[in-house]
Amino acid sequence: MIIGDRLLNRLKEFGLNSYEAKIWVSLLSRGISSAGELSDISSVPRSRAYDVLESLEKKGFIVMKIGKPIKYIAVKPIEVIERVKKKVKQDAENQAQIIEELKKDEILQELDVLYTKGVDIVDPSELSGALRDRLNVYHTMNTMINNAQKSVEILTTEQGLLRKADSLKRCLEKAAKRGVKVRIAAPITKKSQKAVEVLEKFAELKNVSTVKARFCIVDGKEVIFALLDDQKAVPSYDAGIWVTTEFFAGALQTMFDQVWGKQLTVKVDN
């Protein structure tokens, strides 16, 4: 039985390797079958078939039929999906719990000491990096805001405002509660009005549509800025630069202050 590469690749999302995927698909096509038959159909070596079937049984993809010779029954795919989803959730919760417990472990303190010593001997101009994938950009921005002590200034686009209301709401709100001044400049339209309602609870907002740029300045010294046009950038290929330099941050700060000063009112554009 020939199984296409596309199907095999998609079945990896179920947590199956290539042998498991071949055996399971073969069993689905037969309903019930023996290890030898499945080995012949799927072209999986017979020496591996029993191990693969045992693995599939543990994962809940098949059921071993009582009797001799030993045969196997395929589990309905929709039921398999529910089992896989349940397991993924359970594994994620367990992993999150382990990570949460690490915060209280002495190993984290040891790692922090190493990091602090390492950073202390690094020239500030060397604290920079290229970020690929929008998710990584937002992870870095989140860390910057969590460490903010005085100010956070963000210039973004209409779509960027929507994303920040979703991805950065929590860290911006916590920063504001610590006394950090949060200012966000972006095109405020009917489409972004809901984002404004979320963010204006803890941040100052100004309607800025004349400057197309995406950057964030923290405490006047740490900057992250996007390299691509938001309307053309694909999330997985979006890119940004993170730098720690008061000189460059100061230049962007001047630009931000000038733009902010020209926009005196929050007006919703059509």
Write the pLDDT tens digit of every residue in 12-71: 777 888 888 888 888 888 888 888 989 998 888 988 999 999 998 888 888 888 778 888
Q: 67 and 173: one domain?
A: no
Residue 216 has pLDDT above 90, yes or no: yes
| Calpha distance 88→32 (Å, rounded) | 27
- Name the band, by pLDDT with cuts 50, 70 and 90, for residue 4: low
Q: What value does the mean pLDDT of the chain take?
A: 84
Q: What is the pLDDT of residues 85-125, one digit of tens each?
A: 888 888 888 888 888 877 777 667 666 666 565 545 445 55
Whether residue 130 is found in the same domain as residue 257: yes
Report the alpha-carbon distance of residue 19 to residue 52 in Å, rounded: 7
Are 242 and 160 in a shared domain?
yes
Integer Cα distance of 2 and 126 in angstroms: 54
- DSSP per-residue codes, 52-104: HHHHHHHHTSEEEESSSS-EEEEPPHHHHHHHHHHHHHHHHHHHHHHHHHHTT
- Return the pLDDT at 268: 46
CA 94 – CA 257 distance, rounded (Å): 46
Q: What single DSSP character describes residue 24?
A: H
Burial label, 192 (beta-carbon count in 10 A; 0-12, 13-18, 19+): buried
**Same domain for 237 and 131:** yes
Domain boundary among 79, 106, 135: 79
Q: Within this chain, do residues 195 and 256 fall inside the same structural domain, yes or no?
A: yes
Whether 46 and 141 map to the same domain: the answer is no
Residue with the bigger pLDDT between 241 and 119: it is 241
Look up the domain containing 56 and give its range.
Answer: 5-79
Same domain? For 134 and 254 the reply is yes
Is residue 133 one of the residues assigned to a domain?
yes
Is residue 61 in some structural domain?
A: yes
85 is a domain residue? no
Claim to verify: residue 216 and residue 135 sit in the same structural domain: yes
- Asked if pLDDT for residue 11 goes beyond 70, the answer is yes
Q: Which of 79, 112, 134 lies at the terminal end of a domain, its last residue?
A: 79
Whether residues 256 and 150 fall in one domain: yes
Same domain for 34 and 147 = no
